């Protein structure tokens, strides 16, 4: 498991006693955009506190555990592809890591369109330019 991590966050993990899980985790420096996309696309599960990463995990069809008590992307939780994890409970975080959840992506609704927005915009622009 790799975890791109800000040095300050790594320090807090060690400070609050998550050191025993270090043998299972490879902490790496924060990733650039393309490396992060590659990591997300190849992940089996994503753990994050980032709203943007929650949504990216959805786009790459990767289950997500959100290490927060709330999220701005409640629709992802509602359809079962994102789970909130109580960050005040070390046990809850570790338990969530051990639990897996299978998602039938064919039954997950297209929450943010069909992926053809750029094509539709281009068609409208061409129509406008040809008038």
- The whole-number average pLDDT for the span 35-57 is 91
Sign of the Cα torsion 52, 1, 37, 113 reads negative
Q: What is the pLDDT of residues 60-101, one digit of tens each?
A: 999 999 988 899 999 999 998 999 998 887 788 878 877 767
CA distances from 118 to 7, 35, 59, 123, 124 (A): 37, 24, 16, 9, 10
Query: What domains lie within the chain, and their CATH numbers?
Result: 31-103 (3.40.50.2000)
Helix (H) or strand (E) segment spanning residue 69: none
Average pLDDT of the chain is: 85
Dihedral in degrees, nearest 10, Cα atoms 105, 86, 70, 49? -70
Residue 98, phi then psi, degrees to nearest 5:
-80, -25
Whether 12 has a pLDDT exceeding 60, the answer reads yes
Q: What is the pLDDT of residue 6?
A: 76
Q: What is the pLDDT of residue 123?
A: 93
């Amino acid at each position: 498991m790799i975890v791109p991590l800000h040095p300050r966050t790594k320090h807090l993990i060690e400070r609050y006693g998550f050191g025993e899980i270090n043998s299972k985790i490879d902490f790496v420096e924060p990733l650039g955009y393309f490396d992060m996309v590659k990591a997300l696309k190849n992940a089996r599960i994503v753990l994050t506190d980032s709203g943007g990463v929650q949504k990216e995990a959805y786009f790459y069809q990767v289950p997500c555990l959100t290490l927060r008590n709330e999220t701005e992307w409640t629709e992802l939780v509602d359809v079962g592809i994102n789970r909130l994890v109580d960050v005040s409970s070390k046990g809850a975080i570790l338990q969530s890591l051990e639990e897996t959840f299978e998602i039938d992506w064919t039954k997950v609704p297209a929450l943010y369109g069909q992926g053809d927005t750029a094509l539709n915009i281009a068609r409208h622009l061409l129509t406008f330019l040809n008038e």
